[in-house]
Amino acid sequence: MAGMSRYILLFLWLLQGTLVLADEPFRTFTTAKGQSFTARLLSYEGQTFYLEGKDTKLYPVPYNQLSTADQVYLRKAAEELRIPIGDPRKISAEETMEDTPEPEPTEVSGSMEMDDEPRLMAPKKAKPKLRPGSFFSYRPVNLGQDPNLAVDLKSGGAPKPGEPIDFTSHVLPILEDRCTSCHNEPYEKNGRTIQPKAGLALNTYELVMKGNLDDTVVTAGDVEGSYLHEVLTLDEDDDMFMPPKGGPLTPEQIDIIKRWIGEGAKPKGGGAGVADASEGVSFHDHIFPILEERCFDCHGEPYVRSGRTIHPKAGLALDSYEAVLKGNLDGAIIDRGDHEESTLYVVITLDPDDSEIMPPKGDPLSPEEIELFKKWIDEGAKEYPSDVFEKPKEEKATVALTSVADRNVPLVDLLGKRLTKPSKTQIEAASKTGALVTTLSEKHSMIRAEFSEGPSLIDNNSVGALASVQNNISHLDLSRTKVTDSVMGNVRKMKNLTWLGLRNTEITDQAVKQLTDMQFLRYLNLSGTKVSDRAVNDLSKMKDLEEIYLWNSKVSEKGIESLRKALPDAKVIF
């Protein structure tokens, strides 16, 4: 009977492979360098797409070697699941292999002498990714077993709130999915022994803890000191970033590994289990489960729905310890050691009729839960039970921007820290009307937008395209463009603007009037504009301005004099 159902499954799988994944048509592809050729798309694996030429030859092509239009096509094909994953040469073989027992590996006679007998087992092939909700994504469960538990054990599903991490059911599936294709125990292939990359195998608990010749990769209880965690969280461009292919681990996966190390990197889950709250409240053991249950619907990580990115409400994510401490644009929500000053605590303890109460739907948090939050904040908002909370210094963790000058941190850096780096798509959208849009440095989240080419073609409408990154713009250069006063409607939306160049434009006093409440503006270039003495009053209100350029404008010497008097610390160039 079991054998029967296996064949039905196999049949269905093949059916899906042939019916759902219809052949892609032939089309012309162009490489980034301008070469073009005709081919049709077969499949993809990681960043490599497999194209079949008219001559039926197979061409593996790296994604970034193709023109932008082709990349869009490929991305779409992959996103809409029109093409399968994997090398087409292997896919056909794999399909027939599906669910049939792996042939017993045979010992190769006369093999070299080795200290370690190679376990003759090749790394597991990546499983085909199934569409969520697909029939095949459901797994059979034995009668009498808790279905959720069974699925978790088999697939390495997310640990339940508050549940300690188990190596075998939570960590190992991640390693097997993403790491062991390179970091596999030595095995024989075509008569040669394949050693794990970097001498590091990650197939079992013992191997993970053993590390390699350099060092161990996991230090129990010390997340920061564990190399395994470090390489997963490096910058993606970093040479040591892991996994090197197929994109980074998901935040949940990294979180599982982090928690596993933090809990002491034990072979069997649990051990002590969740510590009692009376011995100290930690984010990991007590707070996260509550957040997960009550807050994630609105304050989870950003996700894509119908092609649009849905950001967490109020720009506040609560899906990780770092995110909770970071807060949002309005500032931090946790004041370590002081629950009354912590916005998070305030909003969950409001009157149930208050429109601001969180969570807005369902019952308010229970008194026990609220007590946990209070205790957690007062104890210093620790992440793990073992963390030691240091008393905050006199200076508060969140610094009001007015004290920036004393602290000698450039304003743009401070503003940048409160925002996330804009995505490539956002920057592309902002550049549509001819603007050169770049981040201030590689990792900075603030943006400089300028119209460097053909400024005479740039008008008010061109500035509108910058809306997609308006919060991130710190420098805006509209010099020599055809913008007029009404452009200020868009400029005013750039709340974090510090540097504004309006040199040699048709801007008048009306525009200056609209700038008076731009609180972070420090540099204002109005040279060669029609700004006159009537703007001096408005300029005088902007006490934080550091540099004002009015050379060649309509402002008189008298106007400059009164402006210099009103803003004694600013550099007024006339």
* Closest by Cα among 227, 205, 224 to 216: 227
Contact flag: residue 413 with another protein (CB under 8 A): yes
Residue type at 195? Answer: Q
Residue type at 188? Answer: E
Contact flag: residue 28 with another protein (CB under 8 A): no
C-beta neighbour count of 27 within 10 angstroms:
12
Residue type at 555? Answer: V
Contact flag: residue 454 with another protein (CB under 8 A): yes
Among 202, 412, 491, 535, binds another protein (CB under 8 A): 412
* Closest by Cα among 325, 303, 330 to 315: 330
Helices assigned H by DSSP within 310-379 = 321-326, 343-348, 367-378
Specify the residue for token string 């993809």.
Answer: 44
Contact flag: residue 407 with another protein (CB under 8 A): no
Q: Which is nearer to another protein, 271 or 454 (CB)?
A: 454
For the CB of residue 452, give the shortest distance to another protein in the complex, in Å: 4
The encoded tokens of residue 265 equal: 């990197």
Reduced to 3 states, what is the DSSP secondary structure of residue 207?
Answer: helix
The CA-based diameter of the chain, rounded to the nearest angstrom, is 99
DSSP category for residue 336:
T
Contact flag: residue 505 with another protein (CB under 8 A): no
For the CB of residue 474, give the shortest distance to another protein in the complex, in Å: 10
Q: How far is CA 563 from CA 75, 120, 320, in A?
A: 56, 82, 49
Contact flag: residue 436 with another protein (CB under 8 A): yes
Among 305, 306, 456, 569, binds another protein (CB under 8 A): 456
- Scanning 104-112, 315-323, 438-446, 557-565 for contacts with another protein by CB under 8 A, the matching segment is 438-446
Among 549, 567, 570, 572, binds another protein (CB under 8 A): 549
Contact flag: residue 553 with another protein (CB under 8 A): no
Contact flag: residue 118 with another protein (CB under 8 A): no
Contact flag: residue 440 with another protein (CB under 8 A): yes
Contact flag: residue 480 with another protein (CB under 8 A): yes
Q: Which is nearer to another protein, 317 or 542 (CB)?
A: 542
For the CB of residue 376, give the shortest distance to another protein in the complex, in Å: 37
Contact flag: residue 405 with another protein (CB under 8 A): no
Contact flag: residue 438 with another protein (CB under 8 A): yes
For the CB of residue 493, give the shortest distance to another protein in the complex, in Å: 23
Contact flag: residue 35 with another protein (CB under 8 A): yes
Q: How many residues bind another protein (CB under 8 A)?
A: 34
Among 3, 34, 367, 568, binds another protein (CB under 8 A): 34
Residue type at 69? Answer: A
Helix (H) or strand (E) segment spanning residue 525:
strand 523-525
Q: How far is CA 502 from CA 70, 209, 274, 516, 553, in A?
A: 39, 61, 60, 15, 11
Q: CB within 8 A of 320, min separation 6: which ones?
A: 251, 255
For the CB of residue 465, give the shortest distance to another protein in the complex, in Å: 16
C-beta neighbour count of 104 within 10 angstroms:
6
Q: Which is nearer to another protein, 47 or 452 (CB)?
A: 452
Among 212, 523, 533, 554, binds another protein (CB under 8 A): 523
Contact flag: residue 466 with another protein (CB under 8 A): no
For the CB of residue 525, give the shortest distance to another protein in the complex, in Å: 4
- Answer yes or no: are the C-beta atoms of 101 and 163 closer than 8 Å: no
* Closest by Cα among 281, 265, 90, 36 to 171: 265
Q: How far is CA 304 from CA 75, 186, 308, in A?
A: 15, 40, 5
Q: Kindly report the length of the chain.
A: 574
Q: Which residues pair with 543 in a beta bridge?
A: none
- Scanning 78-86, 186-194, 295-303, 445-453 for contacts with another protein by CB under 8 A, the matching segment is 445-453
Q: Which residues pair with 476 in a beta bridge?
A: 449, 500
- Scanning 173-181, 237-245, 358-366, 409-417 for contacts with another protein by CB under 8 A, the matching segment is 409-417
For the CB of residue 469, give the shortest distance to another protein in the complex, in Å: 14
Among 12, 14, 20, 32, binds another protein (CB under 8 A): 32
Report the alpha-carbon distance of residue 511 to residue 502 in Å, rounded.
10
The encoded tokens of residue 84 equal: 């399968």
Among 547, 556, 558, 561, binds another protein (CB under 8 A): 547
Task: Return residues touching another protein (CB under 8 A).
Answer: 32-35, 410, 412-413, 436, 438-444, 450, 452-456, 479-480, 501, 503, 523, 525, 527-528, 547, 549, 551-552, 573
